[in-house]
């Protein structure tokens, strides 16, 4: 089938990250023809860079306007149109669909959630005055919903420590053998300086991999360059491609992640993590975090449960680090459970079955 994915970048990288991962899975795991129309092509290209041309060249990454300016458009009407995160389709593109011989199906791909209510709404029709069928599709953890975005890398776990991406070789050479590795990709507002100072009070070496922009966040928060004891080494890495960032997550002992896509990758890496959830004005994120923790910690002991909740709500590391080993074992079991529950192929495969 032919798929058109519409991606509007509201902020940050998650919108592009999810669309690219979906496009790639549909194309390379399921042989689908995919085009992405994006209002910020440079960001999308950055995430998708470094991918084997055999994979990348089969997916068309196009500017938003190409969806209605492209002369080939009327003869290449898609079978499925994805509105990622409910973005609105360009009117002129929609007008082209009205005159297409065969009408496509439109999918409103929603935000990921662990909340129970999504089981009621997943797959429901969203009738439109224009008459083209449209449905809600909710990614999630439960069996009855749209699943998780499994991609070829998650399935093979093919992220060997030896294959250091060229863009990271210089920084990776600074890592100290035996030091615990922590990567950080969070939003402004995390109490990072205090968190790192507390880590510095522990009797262990930590190498802290700061993703693009995090060092500036730290300096802004403290108003000066932060000074930390010698057991803490800060290593700033550049913004890398999505594959390279997945590799970083797999090489660290602990990851701080955020949003939606890195949150899932951290779980598939099978390592303990802090999810810095996207903050919402109405505090809806607190309910979302609690719903996830309910599922994630269902099989955990009482002490691991309390320590994980403390860590996820930014308690200082000294308060919960004693549970790290148990948390590590739990993370591996959680990864195995996720893969088992998504053995049907997860989101891309469920989307295909839904459309069929």
Residue 10 binding ligand TRH, by CB under 6 A: yes
Residues 162-191 that bind ligand TRH (CB under 6 A): 185
Nearer to ligand TRH, 39 or 261 (CB): 261
Count Cβ atoms within 10 A of the Cβ of residue 339 and give its class: 0-12 exposed, 13-18 middle, 19 or more buried: middle
Closest separation in Å from C-beta 207 to ligand TRH = 17
Looking at 242, 251, 255, 267, which residue binds ligand TRH (CB under 6 A)? 242
Residue 89 binding ligand TRH, by CB under 6 A: no
Q: Determine the interface stretch with ligand TRH among 88-96, 100-108, 114-122, 256-264 (rule: CB under 6 A).
A: 256-264
Nearer to ligand TRH, 12 or 313 (CB): 12
Q: What share of the chain is helix, strand, coil (3-state, %, to 5)?
A: 45, 15, 40
Residue 212 binding ligand TRH, by CB under 6 A: yes
Query: Could you tell me whether strands 206-210 and 180-184 are parallel, antiparallel, or unpaired per DSSP bridges?
Result: parallel
Phi, psi of 107, rounded to the nearest 5 degrees:
-115, 125
Looking at 26, 240, 256, 347, which residue binds ligand TRH (CB under 6 A)? 240
Answer yes or no: are the C-beta atoms of 130 and 102 closer than 8 Å. Answer: no
Nearer to ligand TRH, 135 or 278 (CB): 278
Closest separation in Å from C-beta 266 to ligand TRH = 9
Catalytic residues: 15, 260
Closest separation in Å from C-beta 74 to ligand TRH = 32
Nearer to ligand TRH, 50 or 123 (CB): 50
Residue 110 binding ligand TRH, by CB under 6 A: no
What are the Cα distances from residue 272, in Å, to 146, 179, 230? 25, 16, 24
Angle at 12 between CA 9 and CA 16, to 5 degrees: 50
- Enumerate long-range contacts of 190-194, CB under 8 Å, 24 or more apart: 190/256, 190/276, 190/314, 191/314, 192/217, 192/218, 192/221, 193/218, 193/221, 193/222, 193/226, 194/316
Closest separation in Å from C-beta 211 to ligand TRH = 4
Residue 245 binding ligand TRH, by CB under 6 A: yes
Nearer to ligand TRH, 13 or 138 (CB): 13
Q: Determine the interface stretch with ligand TRH among 7-15, 119-127, 223-231, 336-344 (rule: CB under 6 A).
A: 7-15
Residue 15 binding ligand TRH, by CB under 6 A: yes
Answer yes or no: are the C-beta atoms of 2 and 78 closer than 8 Å. Answer: yes
Collect all residues with Cβ–Cβ distance below 8 Å to 31 and sequence separation of at least 6: none
Closest separation in Å from C-beta 303 to ligand TRH = 29
Nearer to ligand TRH, 195 or 263 (CB): 263
- Give bridge partners of residue 200 from the DSSP assignment: none
What are the Cα distances from residue 164, in Å, to 8, 15, 170, 225? 32, 27, 10, 29
Residue count, binding to ligand TRH (CB under 6 A): 22
Positions touching ligand TRH (CB under 6 A) are 10-15, 17, 47, 185, 211-212, 239-242, 245, 258-262, 278
């Amino acid at each position: 089938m032919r798929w058109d994915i519409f991606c509007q970048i509201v902020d940050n990288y998650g919108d592009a990250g999810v669309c690219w991962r979906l496009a790639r899975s549909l194309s390379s795991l399921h042989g689908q023809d995919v085009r992405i129309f994006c209002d910020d092509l440079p960001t999308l290209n950055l995430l998708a860079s470094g991918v084997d041309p055999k994979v990348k060249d089969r997916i068309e990454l196009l500017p938003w306007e190409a969806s209605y300016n492209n002369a080939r458009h009327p003869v290449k009407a898609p079978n499925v149109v994805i509105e990622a995160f409910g973005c609105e389709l360009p009117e002129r593109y929609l007008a082209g669909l009205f005159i297409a011989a065969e009408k496509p199906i439109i999918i409103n791909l929603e935000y990921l959630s662990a909340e129970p209510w999504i089981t009621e709404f997943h797959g429901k029709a969203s009738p439109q005055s224009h008459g083209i069928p449209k449905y809600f599709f909710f990614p999630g953890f439960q069996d009855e919903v749209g699943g998780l975005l499994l991609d070829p890398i998650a399935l093979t776990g093919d992220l060997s420590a030896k294959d250091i991406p060229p863009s990271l070789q210089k920084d990776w050479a600074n890592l100290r053998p035996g030091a615990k590795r922590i990567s950080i990709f969070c939003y402004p507002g995390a109490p990072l300086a205090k968190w790192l100072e507390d880590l510095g009070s522990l009797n262990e070496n930590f190498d802290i991999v700061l993703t693009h922009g995090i060092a500036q966040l730290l300096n802004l928060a403290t108003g000066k360059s932060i000074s930390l004891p010698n057991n803490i080494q800060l290593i700033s890495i550049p913004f890398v491609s999505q594959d390279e960032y997945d590799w970083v997550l797999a090489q660290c002992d602990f990851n701080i992640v955020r949003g939606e896509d890195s949150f899932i990758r951290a779980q598939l890496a099978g390592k303990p993590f802090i999810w810095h959830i996207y903050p919402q004005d109405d505090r809806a994120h607190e309910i979302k975090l609690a719903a996830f923790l309910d599922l994630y910690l269902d099989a955990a002991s009482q002490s691991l449960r309390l320590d994980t909740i403390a860590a996820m709500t930014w308690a200082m590391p000294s308060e919960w680090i004693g549970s790290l080993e148990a948390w590590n074992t739990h993370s591996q079991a959680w990864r195995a459970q996720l893969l088992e529950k998504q053995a049907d192929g997860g989101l891309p495969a469920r989307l295909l079955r839904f459309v069929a």
